[in-house]
């Protein structure tokens, strides 16, 4: 059987497609399109290959799934069962993670806006670390931690120096002085970690090197002011696992280790926070061609409302009804949102024949599609979780209404 989209859980043979072990035909007989499908075994594989690669390079490596990439409870349960931690940005995610059973020692939480309620809930549940993007948040955390008689471990997110990035603290003499004074003054916080997250969909080794530079430059600056930090958090930013082959991941892990060794920085733990790498290629849509237009434009019954550009997925399109036919004819693909801006792909290689009603497989839609989706008034798709031969309906808009978390 041949892989589709480089995914070992998506295969084709004699015109038939198998989604894990489930025949595509069975699914479209039973369900109307569009359908969103997740592949449980792919998520598990991705987590395990990531862990294997980084455990080989780092003795004290810890992994925190960036939950915003996909916060469907059934997906989070899979992540939980693999024993890794989570990185969260808000209160709804914290409630979800705790209800699923994540130990607070495996939860790190932080973002550009830390509300009082979020800090309180984080401190009360004794999360591992709170990440600050602004030094002024230290005072807020300290006063809440004092109220609960707790010393809260804190991670500082530094600006990765990516062009025009506004996220994280840009350390300079003045900021370091402020940080040092805060560490002395605020007895209920303890600065333990540094985070730099560079970008998303990072395919180029140099991007990881630049992130490493941001970490080492900032750590050296802090050290020269006697601020010693134990843990390094490199954030996420890895592409879908099918887009980044394992040998490239190994190169990144090795080069990060070598650069750390060369920098002679002392550290204890190394953290990563992948989102897309774990989940991106576990997701796929089955959609339908609803219109064929001039100049090889086709319109699908999904669009940017549920498969948004903002999600930056490495989308791949296949004519599932003609899967064995060659996909070498330039075709443009539009969505159903009534705006000319709803373009899913331009000049994409697709089958010669374009027919209304044909089913289209869109891969790599597991990360951020739901997060960045909007309320454009079309029905939400059913969401299925497939494992081997098992098909589990994990979201039905008629029963569950919405997949948002509160």
Closest CA to 240 of 69, 107, 86, 55: 69
Q: Token pair for residue 28?
A: 């479209």
Q: How far is the CB of 211 from ligand PLP (least distance, A)?
A: 11
Please enumerate, as own/partner, the contacts of 204-211 that have beta carbons within 8 Å and a separation of 24 or more. 205/251, 205/252, 205/255, 207/237, 208/234, 208/237, 208/252, 208/255, 208/256, 209/255, 209/259, 210/160, 210/161, 210/162, 211/160, 211/235, 211/237
Q: Which is nearer to ligand PLP, 146 or 201 (CB)?
A: 201
Q: Which is nearer to ligand PLP, 188 or 282 (CB)?
A: 282
Q: Which residues bind ligand PLP (CB under 6 A)?
A: 66, 69, 87, 197, 200, 235-238, 273-277, 367
Residues 88 and 266: their CA atoms lie apart, in Å, by 27
Q: Which is nearer to ligand PLP, 199 or 319 (CB)?
A: 199
Q: Which is nearer to ligand PLP, 45 or 87 (CB)?
A: 87
DSSP-derived secondary structure for 195-207:
E----SS--SHHH
Give the DSSP letter of residue 188. Answer: T
Q: How far is the CB of 274 from ligand PLP (least distance, A)?
A: 4
Q: Which is nearer to ligand PLP, 167 or 183 (CB)?
A: 167
Q: Token pair for residue 261?
A: 């060794």
The secondary element (H helix, E strand) that includes residue 392 is strand 390-395
Q: How far is the CB of 238 from ligand PLP (least distance, A)?
A: 5
| Contact criterion met (CB below 8 Å) for 195 and 157 | yes
The Cα angle at residue 303 between residues 302 and 305, in degrees rounded to 5: 110
Q: How far is the CB of 172 from ligand PLP (least distance, A)?
A: 21
| Contact criterion met (CB below 8 Å) for 131 and 157 | yes
Q: Which is nearer to ligand PLP, 25 or 250 (CB)?
A: 250
Q: How far is the CB of 264 from ligand PLP (least distance, A)?
A: 26
Q: How far is the CB of 27 from ligand PLP (least distance, A)?
A: 27
Q: How far is the CB of 69 from ligand PLP (least distance, A)?
A: 5
Q: Which is nearer to ligand PLP, 71 or 238 (CB)?
A: 238
Q: How far is the CB of 130 from ligand PLP (least distance, A)?
A: 13
In terms of Cβ atoms closer than 10 Å to its own Cβ (0-12, 13-18, 19+), residue 211 is buried
Q: Which is nearer to ligand PLP, 40 or 87 (CB)?
A: 87
Q: Which is nearer to ligand PLP, 194 or 337 (CB)?
A: 194
Q: Which is nearer to ligand PLP, 54 or 238 (CB)?
A: 238
DSSP-derived secondary structure for 311-356:
G----EEEEGGGTTS---EEEEEE-SSSSTT-EEEEEEEE-S---T
Strand partners, 216: none
Residues 368 and 129: their CA atoms lie apart, in Å, by 24
Residues 245 and 247: their CA atoms lie apart, in Å, by 6
Residues 221 and 159: their CA atoms lie apart, in Å, by 14
Q: How far is the CB of 208 from ligand PLP (least distance, A)?
A: 12
Q: How far is the CB of 300 from ligand PLP (least distance, A)?
A: 25
Phi and psi, residue 179, nearest 5°: -65, -45
């Amino acid at each position: 059987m041949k892989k589709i989209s480089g995914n070992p859980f998506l295969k084709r043979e004699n015109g038939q497609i198998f989604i894990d072990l489930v025949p595509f035909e069975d699914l479209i007989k039973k369900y109307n399109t569009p359908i969103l499908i997740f592949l449980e075994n792919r998520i598990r594989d991705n987590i395990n290959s990531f862990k294997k690669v980084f455990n080989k390079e780092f003795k004290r490596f810890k992994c925190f799934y960036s939950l915003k990439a996909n916060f469907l409870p059934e997906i989070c349960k899979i992540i939980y069962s693999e024993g890794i931690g989570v990185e969260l940005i808000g209160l709804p995610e914290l409630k979800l993670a705790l209800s699923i059973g994540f130990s607070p020692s495996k939860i790190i939480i932080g973002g550009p806006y830390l509300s009082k309620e979020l800090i309180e809930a984080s401190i009360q549940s004794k999360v591992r670390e709170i990440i600050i993007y602004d030094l002024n948040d230290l005072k807020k955390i300290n006063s809440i931690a004092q109220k609960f008689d707790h010393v809260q471990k804190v991670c500082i997110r530094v600006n990765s120096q990516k062009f025009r990035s506004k996220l994280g603290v840009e350390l300079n003499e003045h900021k370091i002085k402020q940080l040092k004074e805060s560490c002395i003054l605020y007895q209920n916080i303890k600065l333990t970690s540094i985070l730099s997250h560079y970008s998303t969909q990072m395919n180029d080794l140099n991007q990881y090197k630049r992130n490493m530079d941001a970490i080492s430059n900032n750590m050296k600056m802090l050290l020269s002011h006697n601020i010693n930090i134990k843990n390094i958090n490199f954030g996420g930013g890895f592409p879908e696992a099918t887009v980044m082959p394992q040998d490239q991941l190994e190169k990144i892990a090795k080069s990060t280790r070598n650069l750390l060794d060369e920098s002679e920085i002392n550290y204890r733990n190394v953290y990563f926070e992948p989102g897309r790498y774990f989940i991106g290629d576990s997701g796929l849509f089955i959609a339908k061609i609803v219109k064929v237009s001039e100049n090889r434009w086709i319109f699908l019954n999904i669009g940017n409302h549920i498969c948004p550009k903002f999600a930056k997925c490495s989308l791949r399109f296949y004519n599932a009804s003609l899967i064995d036919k060659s996909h070498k004819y330039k075709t443009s693909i539009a969505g159903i949102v009534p705006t000319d801006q709803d373009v899913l792909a331009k000049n994409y290689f697709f089958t010669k024949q374009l027919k209304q009603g044909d089913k289209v497989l869109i891969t790599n839609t597991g990360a951020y599609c739901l997060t960045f989706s909007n309320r454009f008034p079309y029905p939400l798709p059913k969401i299925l979780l497939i494992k081997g031969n098992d098909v589990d309906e994990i979201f039905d808009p008629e029963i569950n209404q919405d997949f948002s978390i509160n």
